[in-house]
Amino acid sequence: MRHRFFPFVIFAALTGGFFFSAYAETAPDVSNKNGAASVQRAGNGPASTLAVGATLDAKGRLWLVRVENQRLLLSRSGDDGRRFSAPLTITPQPEAIMADGESRPKIAVSADGTVHLTWVRALSKRHSGEIRYARSRDGGAVFSEPVTLNDDGLEISHRFDSLASDGRGKVAVAWLDARERDAAKAQGRPFGGVSLYAVESEDNGVHFAPNRRLVEHTCECCRTGMVWSADGPVAFWRNIFDTNTRDFALVNLSGGPVRRATDDDWQIDACPHHGGGIAADGHGALHLVWFTQGNKRKGIFYRRMKGDEMTPPLPIGNPAAQAGHPAVAAAGAMVLLAWREFDGRVYSVWAQRSRDGGAQWEVPRRLAETAGAADYPVPLTDGKKALVVWSAATEGVRVLPVEGAGSKP
């Protein structure tokens, strides 16, 4: 089945911002809901999930993917979220899409206009799921039928996917996979955590190579990260070192050993449900953010890696306000961090920016708050502008610009 994108837009100006209601063409059974917002709003309908995916393409356009009524929907904005196109339905049939907490749909847009999407479809057994993929070759006008990327055919846990593209035809997807753990359990053998698996495509997602296990004994429920660096796709995840030391590691899918990326000495016999973020700046550096409650440090931190060099962990956020779930975006000299805090009354989203590749930082900025349930923020930058996408139960999806020159802390 082919699914077409109709560029129909509903929008209204409100007190210095915009909202749009995204149900005109693909979900006629859902009534429009408009609400005042001081920043951009992207709709909030019945049976929606809070977790959204977003990216900027080479033209600076904002792409948003989210779940409504068990359907995966895609919208696009050419004005930083002030107006969005009506949503295109990617999934022809309803799917139990996991889109909350550490799990959200992913999107990558190549320079040639190919749009890649991945998500997790829940299966009937508890904690089981499969990795799904769809693509568009014409800039999001028509999408392929979704396919399942994990090739074992087992109703087990395949979850917490991450997606990256080099923008020129190569695509990589990684996820946490329980096939080794469940096989060990069936044989009465112990197995800590799960495994990290990946697939790669050399032809813009037309075909994928067989599943490849990258490493065993990873944390079970912390989201993975993936970025396409100058040396190829790099995966980032919370690993289990020794018996139960849950610090972060990374590996280049093109070759090379697993590298320990953090050394916090977090000893815990459980999954923290708190993954990290990774970004590449195009100049050979990787930018990492993560959360830890280790013996050496506690809180959320930033680190820059280039070659064998790593900067010391830089603390960010307010630990007293439960700062957590950080994410990072980078392009050129700009690095953008975002995280969520809770003061006992409201959730707030914060951002901090560097304009020199992570050497110096502007003061943290509180961008928005909500008194209801809230997703974790998604920072975006193309090296010129800086945006944070944040979804909340009351206000819907907001696109928050990080404006002004800022100052050094």
Per-residue pLDDT tens digits for 298-326: 999 999 999 999 999 999 999 999 999 99
Q: Determine what percent of the chain is predicted with pLDDT higher than 90.
A: 85
Identity of the residue numbered 320: A
Q: Please tell me the distance from the alpha carbon of residue 303 to that of residue 315, in angstroms, as a whole number.
A: 9
- Residue 347: inside a domain, yes or no? no
Q: Quick one: 156 and 169 in the same domain?
A: yes
| Tally of structural domains, the chain | 2
pLDDT band at 1 (very low <50, low <70, confident <90, very high): very low
Is residue 19 pLDDT above 80, yes or no? Answer: no
Q: Quick one: 28 and 120 in the same domain?
A: no
Is residue 15 pLDDT above 50, yes or no? Answer: no
Q: pLDDT tens, 358-406?
A: 999 999 999 999 999 999 999 999 999 999 999 999 999 999 999 864 4
pLDDT band at 49 (very low <50, low <70, confident <90, very high): confident
Q: Quick one: 84 and 100 in the same domain?
A: no
> Which CATH number is 198's domain given?
2.120.10.10
Q: Residue 101: left (phi > 0), alpha (psi -120 to 50), or beta? A: left
Report residue 409 as tokens: 């802390």
Query: Whole domain around residue 109: which residue ranges?
Result: 95-273
Q: Determine what percent of the chain is predicted with pLDDT higher than 70.
A: 87
pLDDT of residue 30: 23
Between 100 and 252, the more confident residue is 252
- Residue 254: inside a domain, yes or no? yes
Averaged pLDDT for residues 20-45: 29
pLDDT of residue 407: 43
Task: Name the residue among 359, 369, 360 with its Cα closest to residue 393.
Answer: 369
Identity of the residue numbered 290: W
pLDDT band at 48 (very low <50, low <70, confident <90, very high): low
Identity of the residue numbered 148: T
Q: Quick one: 39 and 146 in the same domain?
A: no
Q: Which of 29-43, 261-275, 296-310, 320-334 has the lowest mean pLDDT?
A: 29-43
Show which of 252, 273, 294 is a domain's final residue: 273
Q: Please tell me the distance from the alpha carbon of residue 251 to that of residue 7, in angstroms, as a whole number.
A: 40
pLDDT of residue 156: 97
Q: Quick one: 124 and 48 in the same domain?
A: no
Show which of 273, 289, 304 is a domain's final residue: 273
Is residue 5 pLDDT above 50, yes or no? Answer: no
Q: pLDDT tens, 62-90?
A: 999 999 999 999 999 999 999 999 999 99
Q: Quick one: 109 and 39 in the same domain?
A: no
